[in-house]
Amino acid sequence: MPNQPSPSATRTGCCPPPLIDGVDAEAASDLATVFKALGDPIRLRLLSMIAAHAGGEVCVCDLTAPFDLSGPTISHHLKVLRKAGLIDCQRRGTWVYYWVIPSRLRQLSAFLEPPG
């Protein structure tokens, strides 16, 4: 049986070949975790509030008032954002302060930006 050309080799010019191979499996899994974290409206709002806060960081005490949720529920949402690598935190005495991780946001932005 003769060698058959690959389907991409038989293109007739209807579509240009892909410019990129796409995201690999490991990166796709990592990004899916991030997008899953951002898929919840509470977490999306929390990230937005943290990112917009003057000084670049915000106390957890300032994140609970805008929501009709318990402290433990807010803490759970913040934990999901931390596990996704979107935010980090530091305990200072009684309070915990949160900030966004700019490199992670740049990574998401680069993924969403069309090649060109």
Task: Give me the CATH code for the 24-110 domain, please.
Answer: 1.10.10.10
**Main-chain phi, psi angles of 5, to 5 degrees:** -65, 150
**Cα separation values, 110 from 21, 58, 104, Å:** 15, 26, 10
The predicted structure's pLDDT at residue 10: 54
Count CB-CB contacts under 10 A for residue 34.
19
Give the model confidence (pLDDT) of 70-107 as tens digits.
Answer: 999 999 999 999 999 999 999 999 999 999 999 999 99
Domain ranges of the chain: 24-110
Give the model confidence (pLDDT) of 21-70 as tens digits.
Answer: 677 889 889 999 999 999 999 999 999 999 999 888 999 999 999 999 99
Dihedral angle sign, alpha carbons of residues 37, 42, 46, 52: positive
Do 100 and 87 meet the contact criterion of CB atoms below 8 Å apart? Answer: yes
Confidence band, pLDDT 50/70/90 cuts, at residue 112? confident
Higher pLDDT, 73 or 11: 73
